[in-house]
Amino acid sequence: MSLVWNARHIDHIVILDLSGRITLGEALILREEIRDLLANDQKNILLNLADVSYIDSAGLGELVGMLVSVSKRGGGLRLLNLQNRVQELMQITKLYSVFETFPDENTALRSVRGT
């Protein structure tokens, strides 16, 4: 299943609702989307992973690369709505200490807004 996404904008925050699998080829396309957002000065990005069932090691590496790119531009890349399998992967790889993750969209939005 290919990775598809829909971009939504709330205030100065971009939410990418992702669906499918994050693997090497798919993650490279997503990385281009992140680059486009950064080029348009959109630096607060939430990746909604509610419909992402699988992430492989290459996909994880690309997510880390995206986080670095966004951070270098003074922004934040946060993850929300992780399915159990993805949560376990984040724990096993210890990437919970690298990414800010949130159980739902409202919590993530409050974090970005600082409220």
Q: Terminus-to-terminus CA distance in the chain, angstroms? A: 37
Options 3.40.50.300, 3.40.80.10, 3.30.2130.10, 3.30.750.24; which CATH number does 4-113 get?
3.30.750.24
Q: In this predicted model, what pLDDT tens digit does every residue of 10-34 receive, in sequence order?
A: 999 999 999 999 998 899 899 999 9
Q: What is the pTM of this model?
A: 0.94
Cβ–Cβ < 8 Å for 89, 65: no
pLDDT in tens, 74-97: 999 999 999 999 999 999 999 989
**In the chain, domain spans:** 4-113
CA distance 27 to 59: 6
- CB 35: neighbour CB atoms within 10 A? 13
